[in-house]
Amino acid sequence: MSIEVRNASVLIDGRAILDDVSLTVVPGELLVVVGPNGAGKSTLLGVISGDLVPTSGTVLLEGESIRSRKPLALARKRSVQLQEQQLAFGFRVIEVVRMGRTPWAGTAAEDRDDEAVAEAIGRVDIAPFVDRSFPTLSGGEKARTGFARATAQEAGVLLLDEPTAALDIKYQQRVLGEAVRLARAGHAVVAVLHDLTLAATHADRICVVSRGRIVAHGTPGEVLTPERLTEVYDHPVDVVVHHGVPVVIPRPGDLPDGAHAFEDKEVRV
């Protein structure tokens, strides 16, 4: 299952949040979208998901306009984890994860509900708190629950908006490792990330968005160059290669008197 964005633009109050963006999401790979704050990353994910209608351009799901799909049919094709999941009531964690199975109610796939929910819970180790109320969770626990809900949906396309933002190192690796595993199993997976080294470690392709446009698209080694990142983020960075993976290191900015900065030493990796 593939999604193709063709020449999509999103205008809000006359300002281009996305500007003539084209992108193809294909099965079998993890595509990571990166870029500075306000670059249009979440807007692009909203367009890919069909939740946001572009001002101009088209989005095709399996060769047909994504707007032609009814909401329930679309939910069987793609799942979305938002940065923040707002719930009006104090649902238990297990109930939140089961929400991912809603699109399959009344179909033959409903027979997999219990198994799919159990697998999703195991993916991110949330079994110890499945009976807790969702609003009582920490930010990281909510993020893991949101990931479990999205993966329990078992859609062919998985869209993740900052899935690791609230997570510690262990669960950053766990979540992105599961995203890679799902991609290898034939899903098309897109993740918006801020951490460039995390992106480089896990992505098959990286898409760099800046000021509403795609400025680079390719493998981590092709895309994450110090020159490009320094320009896009308006801050000097170095890139070193560690075990074949680009590691992005921001240079210290201006520091107050008496603050410590890294000494300029040769780094061996």
* Residues 52-86: tens digit of each pLDDT: 999 999 999 999 999 999 999 999 999 999 987 77
For residue 222, pLDDT beyond 70 = yes
For residue 263, pLDDT beyond 70 = no
pLDDT of residue 258: 53
Fold of 3-223: Rossmann fold (3.40.50)
Check if the beta carbon of residue 82 is closer than 8 Å to that of residue 49: no
Residue 55's nearest CA partner among 122, 46, 90, 141 is: 46
Weakest-pLDDT range from 24-33, 78-87, 242-251: 78-87
Which pTM was predicted? 0.92
Tell whether the torsion through CA atoms of 18, 24, 28 and 31 is positive or negative. Answer: negative
For residue 267, pLDDT beyond 80 = no
pLDDT of residue 265: 47
Model confidence over 82-126: pLDDT tens digits?
A: 987 777 678 999 999 999 999 999 999 999 999 999 999 999 999
Model confidence over 134-174: pLDDT tens digits?
A: 999 999 999 999 999 999 999 999 999 999 999 999 999 99
What whole-number distance in Å separates Cα of residue 178 and Cα of residue 145? 14
What whole-number distance in Å separates Cα of residue 140 and Cα of residue 168? 8
Q: Which residues contact 98 (CB under 8 A, 6 or more apart)?
A: 113, 117, 152
What whole-number distance in Å separates Cα of residue 89 and Cα of residue 79? 22
Residue 217 identity (one-letter amino acid): H
Q: Token digits for 133?
A: 């109320």
pLDDT of residue 253: 72
